Structure 1
Amino acid sequence: MHTAPPPVDSPSAAQDAGAVGGADGYSVDPFADPLAQPHMAEREAEPSADRDSAGAAFPPAAAAPDIQHPLHPLHPLQPQAAAHGGPPQPSAQAPLPLPHDALAAAQGRGAREREAAEAEGEALSVRFNQDFSCFACGTRSGFRVFCCDPLWETIRREFDGRSVGMVEMLFRCNFLAIVGGGPNPCYPPNKAMIWDDNQSRCIGELTFRSEVRGVRLRRDRIVVVLEHKVYVYNFADLKLLHQVETLSNPRGLCEVSQSAGSFVMACPGKHRQQIRVELFDQRRTNFIAAHDSEPACIALTLDGQRLATASSKGTLIRVFNTADGLKLHELRRGVERADIYSLVFSPKAPFLVAASDRGTVHVFSVGHSQPQGQGQEDGGGGGGGKGGGSSGAVSALSSFGLMKGVLPKYFSDERSLAFYRIGVHTRMLAAFGAEANTVIVVGSGGAFYKLQFDPHAGGEMRLLEAANFLATEDEQI
């Protein structure tokens, strides 16, 4: 289905976090029953300058439909019709015997094929959904959604050659948040649009005076990240609930918990080395001095009880208790500086996976923990070899608590349980697969890897599958 968004309008300077309205210029209820309101556009929106910062002009929420209704379809047995009219075919993703061959096949297309792929829409962004069962990518012509296991394109929305810079899913439901970006943005980059895939249209928008750096979704909240502020909205009526000031945050760092019983949010604080943890249900804020340099990546467990952080140096990853800020683990990725692109906790087991620009993926065990003192600067000491990881679950020396005060700090850092060398310094994200002890790695260039690790012996992970999810059918591996 080809759905063209409305023309790009100029950014509104009326207010930083105020404007809420329908994508077609009307004020709509994003969760009103479309059968009860067939036009979804009963009254005109007032100018954004006339609205208060909580979006008061937005009508009260009507009886909300089940927002967990799955994106239709999100199953390989029920494929979405492709843009050319026929159903998409399964990608021939046979496991490849050698990592080198897999890498060459997944990323080593020639210049002509690469240019053709860019014309169709290389990924401008890639992000997993909250349970890592799917991932969405913004492209130069729209956005696409894929199931992870098995790898399958399930949704493709194209906007007449206009690009989507960010896509945020809400588990597997029909609501997504999209932000324009790239060479020809479909919406202004200062707007966060709420997209209903059942209607194939945007049903609400949040307009700001500066570019949107990130969007995070919960079943009850929408969180929009700007460079110096984070705004929290109620999902049912888009009412502004909270706003938090941060240090300059060009990466859009922010994570939220997903448990229904609590709402925890982590974002940069107002100081360079600081992480701010908002415990909204307890009406309490904790500030954690995570590193001696600015944070580069953060992660929360689904229940929000643990926080993982990596600094701009990328040599150490630290895990904290969000309730009191105590450090539970200090994990060593390596000795060389690296840009950590993603940190993800396993939702089912005590593991943490990290991916960096060094071309490596590391899995750490974070099960047993004891509160530790605050560590030193991230760069000291040696590491686990160039771009690699230790084959043991945890450094043997780190298990001898009595030795920590005698040996250099480097020897007490916990090493990775398992690792995998992709070998290309490109932007990669990693998450845990649906099968036990598996890791899914995706890259903005289209690379897809499914890896398996031994939770007891550790060592180098085994490649199970490699593919290019952006390749056309005749380019598939």
Structure 2
Amino acid sequence: MLAGSPSSHMGSSISMYRGICSTSRIGNSESPNSGASSSFTQPIADMNENDKTDLLSITWNQNYRLFAVGTSHGFRVYTCKPCKEALRRDIESSGFKIVEMLFCSNVLALVGSVANSHYPPNKVLIWDDCHRRCIGEFTYMSEIRGVKLRRDRVVVVLEHKIYVYNFIDLKLLHQIETLANPRGLCCLSHHSNTFVLACPGLHKGQVRVEHFGLNVTKSINAHYSQIACLTLTLDGLLLATASIRGTLIRIFNTMDGSRLQEVRRGADIAEINSIAFSPNVQWLAASSDKGTVHVFSLRVRVSGEDSLTQPNVAQGPALFHQNSSTSLDPLISPNTGANPSSALSFMRGFLPKYFSSEWSFAQFRLPKSTHLIVAFGSENDIIIVSMDGSFYRCSFDIVHGGEMVRQEYVRFLKFENMP
């Protein structure tokens, strides 16, 4: 049943089952609302709707059209427009703390919760939901902090190390040492012609950027405090970061490490839960534990194309050749506004930095503080998913900014102690 004997390295083992199959889209598999298939090895019991279900994690897919949630009884996938359950797998006593999707396909990476007696938190399952079977496994000596997927790569994040594998044969390609990374921070580019990875470096406040196509590593000293959140544009040419203080968000050119812009979420310390670039790279959204989502206008971007000649995947990994332009162009458009700043900003250099900061262009305030993750549905369309089981869609005025308007609200997962 195994395609080959498991290989081991640095206390980990890998198993590949029957090869990686072709993928289909979420929703094409039969009976999407039924319980889990017997391909899961533990006994399956029908879940009662009255059974208590806890929400353990929320993740977007790579194009923000779907989001996946890990629960104390399995996992679910929802569409964003409209917010609707597309896939549900309920498994008795098997919670998943990580559910990572591969775009809109049937392939997911699953990592069990500490309470999961059948799928431990030190094992990654590459799950093909169309055929209801595991097509690969990664097992480590320590707990897995994060998993990221591209069409050609699987990235597994441990507390002090990141492993990069070829998707087609699960062969190990790269190992990266990091500072302690309990949050599992790591982000990837998702354009097919670039492969950029950003993660914490070896020093506090440092971000390591790998341009694998160029065989270039860049270290960016982004903050004085530890990194709390980071994200890349789809092409990997821009990086946005926040520290554990949560007051400032900085945008960098990943090619030369230069800081392009700095925006301010607020003056008080907060935990930034997520950062997202808009598809046209004109806006940046951020959510925090203050229960507020901020949108900032971006003034700069990296222009130019990265060209990547990819080998035939059947031939296995090979060195890529990549050419990039690092020129900077202004991103100020006549139909978009600018971030507000203090009335005393003209005295920058004489007053504390606070007075010259760029503040958010638009805001959306939720009734109470909770863990939020954000994404852009369109140019002025913000999607917010909350760990309390709530889904929001809101819009902002691209000329005047200000308070966003709520367009949609759905309680996608209800809890016993909530209305």
With the length of structure 2 as denominator, give the TM-score of the two structures: 0.82
Measure the CA separation in 2 of the matches of 1:462 and 1:453.
Answer: 6
**Conservation of the 8 A alpha-carbon contact between 1:15 and 1:209:** no
Measure the CA separation in 2 of the matches of 1:160 and 1:194.
Answer: 20
SS of match in other structure, 2:213:
helix
Instruction: Determine whether 1:143 maps to 2:75.
Output: yes
Instruction: Determine whether 1:423 maps to 2:367.
Output: yes
Measure the CA separation in 1 of the matches of 2:27 and 2:281.
Answer: 30
Choose which of 296, 311, 317 in structure 1 pairs with 2:249. 317
SS of match in other structure, 2:51:
helix
Larger radius of gyration: 1
Counterpart in the other structure of 2:407: 464
Instruction: Determine whether 1:360 maps to 2:292.
Output: yes
SS of match in other structure, 1:287:
strand
Q: How do 1:232-311 and structure 2 match up within 5 A?
A: 232-311=164-243
Choose which of 334, 339, 355 in structure 2 pairs with 1:394. 339
Q: How do 1:29-48 and structure 2 match up within 5 A?
A: 29-31=19-21
2:15 partner letter: G
Q: How do 1:307-346 and structure 2 match up within 5 A?
A: 307-346=239-278
- CA offsets 1:133-170 (integer angstroms, 9 cap, x no match): 00000011110000011011000012223111110001
Counterpart in the other structure of 2:392: 449
Measure the CA separation in 2 of the matches of 1:125 and 1:462.
Answer: 26
- CA offsets 1:321-343 (integer angstroms, 9 cap, x no match): 00000001111000110000001
**Conservation of the 8 A alpha-carbon contact between 2:287 and 2:293:** yes
With the length of structure 1 as denominator, give the TM-score of the two structures: 0.72
Counterpart in the other structure of 2:355: 411
Choose which of 109, 113, 125 in structure 2 pairs with 1:177. 109
Higher helix share: 1
Counterpart in the other structure of 1:21: 15
Counterpart in the other structure of 2:84: 152
1:236 partner letter: I
Counterpart in the other structure of 1:225: 157
More deviation, 357-366/409-418: 409-418
- CA offsets 1:302-354 (integer angstroms, 9 cap, x no match): 00000000000000000000000000111100011000000111113411110
Measure the CA separation in 1 of the matches of 2:388 and 2:274.
Answer: 16
**Conservation of the 8 A alpha-carbon contact between 1:269 and 1:276:** yes
Measure the CA separation in 2 of the matches of 1:163 and 1:118.
Answer: 17
**Conservation of the 8 A alpha-carbon contact between 1:79 and 1:154:** no
Counterpart in the other structure of 2:27: 72
Instruction: Determine whether 1:168 maps to 2:100.
Output: yes
Measure the CA separation in 1 of the matches of 2:97 and 2:33.
Answer: 24
1:444–1:422 Cα change, 3 Å:
same
Which 5+ residue runs of structure 2 have no aligned equivalent? 1-5, 37-47, 303-336
1:404–1:232 Cα change, 3 Å:
same
1:21 partner letter: S
Per-residue deviation, 1:253: 0.1
SS of match in other structure, 2:300:
coil
Counterpart in the other structure of 1:432: 376
Measure the CA separation in 2 of the matches of 1:432 and 1:117.
Answer: 32
- CA offsets 1:268-322 (integer angstroms, 9 cap, x no match): 0000111000011111111000000000000000000000000000000000000
Measure the CA separation in 2 of the matches of 1:334 and 1:466.
Answer: 26
1:404–1:122 Cα change, 3 Å:
same
**Conservation of the 8 A alpha-carbon contact between 1:163 and 1:185:** no
1:295–1:457 Cα change, 3 Å:
same
Higher strand share: 2
1:265 partner letter: L
1:16 partner letter: M
2:189 partner letter: S
1:83–1:121 Cα change, 3 Å:
same
SS of match in other structure, 1:411:
helix
2:82 partner letter: P
**Conservation of the 8 A alpha-carbon contact between 2:340 and 2:361:** no
SS of match in other structure, 2:130:
coil
Measure the CA separation in 2 of the matches of 1:399 and 1:352.
Answer: 24
SS of match in other structure, 2:251:
strand
Per-residue deviation, 1:122: 2.1
1:395–1:199 Cα change, 3 Å:
same
**Conservation of the 8 A alpha-carbon contact between 1:397 and 1:411:** yes
Measure the CA separation in 1 of the matches of 2:301 and 2:234.
Answer: 18
Per-residue deviation, 1:117: 7.8
1:215–1:429 Cα change, 3 Å:
same
Per-residue deviation, 1:242: 0.2
Measure the CA separation in 2 of the matches of 1:298 and 1:349.
Answer: 15
Per-residue deviation, 1:19: 1.4
Which 5+ residue runs of structure 1 have no aligned equivalent? 1-11, 32-64, 85-115, 371-391
Per-residue deviation, 1:237: 0.4
1:224 partner letter: V
2:18 partner letter: V
Q: How do 1:181-220 and structure 2 match up within 5 A?
A: 181-220=113-152
Per-residue deviation, 1:413: 1.8
Measure the CA separation in 1 of the matches of 2:91 and 2:49.
Answer: 16
- CA offsets 1:376-401 (integer angstroms, 9 cap, x no match): xxxxxxxxxxxxxxxx741256998x
SS of match in other structure, 1:70:
coil
2:14 partner letter: V
**Conservation of the 8 A alpha-carbon contact between 2:35 and 2:91:** no
Measure the CA separation in 1 of the matches of 2:248 and 2:341.
Answer: 18
1:125 partner letter: S
1:28 partner letter: R
